Amino acid sequence: MATTVISSQKVENFAKWQLSFEAGEAMRSKAGIILKGIYQAVEDENPVTIISEVPSQDIAKAIFSSESMKEVMEKSGIITVNDVKILKSVN
């Protein structure tokens, strides 16, 4: 069963972050991650929330705790600590 991941962060510049995020498509595809949506706050474009499906919670935890992910996040201009929720369906 797929695991839903909701990841929220604030970026210094949405356009810069978006380019970096798009560059990671091959990595996400290889890991079996399916993007469900990218959202911005109505009053400020720099808070970003990403909703995706990941094959398992183990994969989600491994990705978000990896050093390479931390480096990518830093280079993409994320300025707040990433809030990641790993969720399972109950219905």
* CATH at 34: 3.30.70.100
Query: What string of pLDDT tens digits covers the 91 residues of the chain?
Result: 789 999 999 999 999 999 999 988 888 898 899 999 999 989 999 999 999 999 998 888 888 788 887 888 888 889 986 788 999 888 7
Residue 47, domain extent:
3-87
pLDDT at residue 89, as a whole number: 86
pLDDT at residue 42, as a whole number: 93
What string of H, E and C letters represents the secondary structure of the chain?
CCEEEEEEEEECCHHHHHHHHHHCHHHHHHCCCEEEEEEECCCCCCEEEEEEEECCHHHHHHHHHCHHHHHHHHHCCECCCCEEEEECCCC
pLDDT at residue 36, as a whole number: 96
The total number of structural domains in the chain stands at: 1
d(CA 91, CA 81): 31
pLDDT at residue 2, as a whole number: 81
